[in-house]
Amino acid sequence: MDSSFAFSGSMLDTKPIPYTFFFFDGVPNPELTIEAANSDSLDQIGDITKVVDKEVKPAFFVHQPYRERKCDNCHDKERMGSLKMSMMDLCTECHSGFKKQSTFVHGPVAGGNCTQCHNPHKAKNEKLLLRNGRDLCLNCHDTKNIYKGDFHSSSNELDCLSCHKPHGSVNHSLLQKGVCTLCHENFNEKYKVVHGPVASDNCSVCHVPHRYGTEKLLLHSGRELCLNCHNIKQVLKNDYHTDLGETSCTECHNPHGGEDRYIFN
């Protein structure tokens, strides 16, 4: 068990858990804002902006059943440290539909190891997370595999969750729906004629965000990329391809789409 789970014995008495502890660096404290808003004084209006600007965040995010001290929702009454049932059954009793919704389920979720990412009582991070942002993921996934070299160009700071879902997905590799078009142009809208694999949103047959060695995150450089699917003999057979030499396919064809058949640049 992570030591951050430890809490003082005073939690077992009837005093409220000190989750009402606030400090000044998060979302606005509604109580302070309301107090200021109820005042008639113009000076106080100045204060409202101050309060909102400073941003107030609770020191802890507390899980609702824990805050309501419903310990026995989860624990054996006699032995507070042990759970009433398996973690998976316990968590999904209130948070239903974890396995069913997804075709691909994330390893630790499939194993019912919810507490490898969430603290069941309270946490400093939103959603009761043990760690924030990429630190959460890189606690298990080897940085060397994920950031082989020049990960996603200058955007090394991209959060894992901008492309992946944490629990499961209907898409392979736990990908978000329409993941690439969340940030990039939608070629299906841009071009009249869209290249086969692009039309089926299969960007990763050509681009691999976690690999490097080629420009533009491409799986292969030059014509290798195209000849992965197109038969070279078939291609060279036609007059218009006979003098190709070393010319790259993308000299003439746009890899994503175009205005006419044959997707020319």
Site for ligand HEC in 17-56 (CB under 6 A): none
Amino acid at 181: T
Contact predicate 56/32, CB 8 Å: yes
**Using CB under 6 A, which of the segments 25-33, 41-49, 51-59, 103-111 binds ligand HEC?**
103-111
61 interacts with ligand HEC by CB under 6 A: yes
For the CB of residue 30, give the shortest distance to ligand HEC in the complex, in Å.
16
10 interacts with ligand HEC by CB under 6 A: no
Q: Give the C-alpha separation, 19 to 106, whole Å.
A: 31
174 interacts with ligand HEC by CB under 6 A: yes
**Using CB under 6 A, which of the segments 18-26, 28-36, 39-47, 68-76 binds ligand HEC?**
68-76
**Using CB under 6 A, which of the segments 19-27, 32-40, 51-59, 181-189 binds ligand HEC?**
181-189
Hey, which residues between 138 and 167 contact ligand HEC (CB under 6 A)?
138-141, 145-146, 152-155, 158, 160-164, 166-167
If one counts every other C-beta atom within 10 angstroms of the C-beta of residue 263, the result is 20
For the CB of residue 252, give the shortest distance to ligand HEC in the complex, in Å.
3
Contacting ligand HEC (CB under 6 A), which of 63, 102, 122, 191? 63
* Short-list 65, 67, 68, CA closest to 94: 65
16 interacts with ligand HEC by CB under 6 A: no
Contact predicate 61/127, CB 8 Å: yes
Burial class (CB in 10 A: 0-12, 13-18, 19+), 240: exposed
Please say whether the dihedral angle defined by the alpha carbons of residues 175, 64, 4 and 111, taken in this order, is positive or negative. Answer: negative
